[in-house]
């Protein structure tokens, strides 16, 4: 079984980013990261994103708010950043505390600055196949990983386990655009194992540790693991039982070291795209 590591994909994307910015010497796109509270996974992602932006030649700023931040003060700061001409992209960690109006924030964000597809405008563009918007970073990271390893979804059956607006549904749209035949599975899917066994590519994004076993796969299936879970021993594991599927799958992505590490590179690509678009500069 081939292990689909994220490192090769990250390196390829970094080269692509440098080429895009090469004609604009000294030009640095600007990303703002907004975090409310101290969720450990958000802090970890933030640190990784900051490092990736630096490598890509992108300026990144952090705006941190207490978990009990006053809603009016938060919206005042958010609107300021949303309207600031110096800001090219905005990433907001979600879910937000319940006392903040997340729907209002999603409806307010400038679609051009919306780096992770929370705006209804970008969501509509995604479902319409309009590439002027942005797909969620993790969903797009799956497609970039397949591209790096020359795995073409066209004409193949794809089973996606999970139907969230963060990964499952957007990924289904990206797969359809790539000419795959897609089945989206979820908690109400009957006999989910047999449904997945029809698929050439299985993507697990259910948030359930090691749920995907050999019973979910036909011989030589490709398995992409998007899950991030912590097992009883405190180890980071995916939604796929990686060791168990080795004798069945032709290729599989590991956790950690797979899709997760690609998402910040996709984020950086979105920031560069937004910066060039806002300044009406051509993309290479």
User: Sorting pLDDT into bands at 50, 70 and 90, what band is 284?
Assistant: low
Q: What is the pLDDT of residues 186-235, one digit of tens each?
A: 999 999 999 999 999 999 999 999 999 999 999 999 999 999 898 888 88
Provide the pLDDT for residue 25.
Answer: 82
Average pLDDT of the chain to the nearest whole number: 95
Q: What is the mean pLDDT of residues 103-129?
A: 97
Q: How confident is the model at residue 123 (pLDDT cuts 50, 70, 90)?
A: very high
Angstrom distance (rounded) from CA 196 to CA 162: 12
Residues 268, 91: Cα–Cα separation, whole Å = 11
**Each residue's pLDDT tens digit, 88-112:** 999 999 999 999 999 999 999 999 9
Q: Which whole number is the average pLDDT over 172-194?
A: 97
Other beta carbons within 10 Å of 95: 9
Confidence of residue 279 (pLDDT cuts 50, 70, 90): confident
Alpha carbon separation from 194 to 159, 198, 203, 252 (Å, rounded): 11, 7, 15, 19
Question: What percentage of the chain reaches a pLDDT higher than 70?
Answer: 100
How does strand 229-230 pair with strand 236-237? Answer: antiparallel
Can you give the pLDDT at residue 256?
A: 93
Maximum distance among all alpha carbons in the chain? 56
Q: Does position 283 have pLDDT exceeding 90, yes or no? A: no
How far apart (Å, rounded) are the C-alpha atoms in residues 90 and 281? Answer: 20
pLDDT (0 to 100) of residue 41: 86
Query: All domains of the chain, ordered by start, with CATH?
Result: 25-111 (3.40.50.10860), 137-260 (3.40.50.720)
* Average pLDDT value for residue range 53-76: 96
Q: What are phi and psi of 154, to 5 degrees?
A: -55, 125
Q: Is the pLDDT of residue 282 over 80?
A: no
Confidence of residue 22 (pLDDT cuts 50, 70, 90): confident
Q: Identify which has the larger pLDDT, 213 or 236.
A: 213
Cα dihedral across residues 251, 256, 261, 263: positive or negative: positive
CB-facing half-sphere around the CA of 257: CA atoms within 13 A: 8
């Amino acid at each position: 079984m081939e292990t689909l590591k994220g490192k090769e994909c990250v390196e390829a994307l970094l080269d692509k980013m440098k080429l895009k910015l090469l004609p604009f010497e000294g030009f640095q796109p600007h990303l703002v990261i907004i975090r409310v509270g101290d969720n450990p996974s958000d802090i970890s992602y933030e640190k990784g994103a900051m490092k990736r932006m630096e490598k890509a030649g992108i300026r990144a700023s952090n705006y941190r708010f207490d978990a009990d931040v006053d809603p009016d003060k938060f919206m005042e700061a958010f609107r300021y950043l949303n309207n600031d001409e110096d800001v090219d992209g905005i990433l907001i960690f979600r879910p937000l505390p319940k006392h903040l109006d997340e729907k209002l924030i999603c409806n307010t964000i400038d679609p051009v600055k919306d780096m992770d597809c929370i705006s209804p405008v970008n969501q509509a563009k995604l479902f319409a196949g309009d590439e002027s918007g942005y797909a969620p970073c993790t969903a797009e990271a799956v497609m970039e990983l397949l591209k790096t390893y020359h795995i073409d979804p066209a004409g193949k059956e794809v089973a996606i386990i999970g139907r969230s607006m963060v990964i499952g549904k957007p990924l289904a749209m990206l797969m359809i655009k790539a000419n795959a035949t897609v089945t989206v599975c979820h908690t109400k899917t009957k006999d989910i194992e047999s449904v997945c066994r029809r698929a050439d590519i299985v993507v697990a994004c259910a948030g359930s540790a090691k749920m995907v076993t050999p019973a979910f796969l036909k011989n030589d299936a490709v398995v992409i693991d998007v899950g991030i879970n912590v097992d009883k021993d405190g180890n980071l594991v995916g939604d796929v039982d990686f060791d168990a599927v080795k004798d069945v799958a032709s290729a599989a992505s590991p956790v950690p070291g797979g899709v997760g590490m690609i998402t910040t590179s996709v984020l950086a690509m979105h920031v560069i795209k937004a910066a060039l678009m806002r300044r009406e500069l051509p993309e290479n």
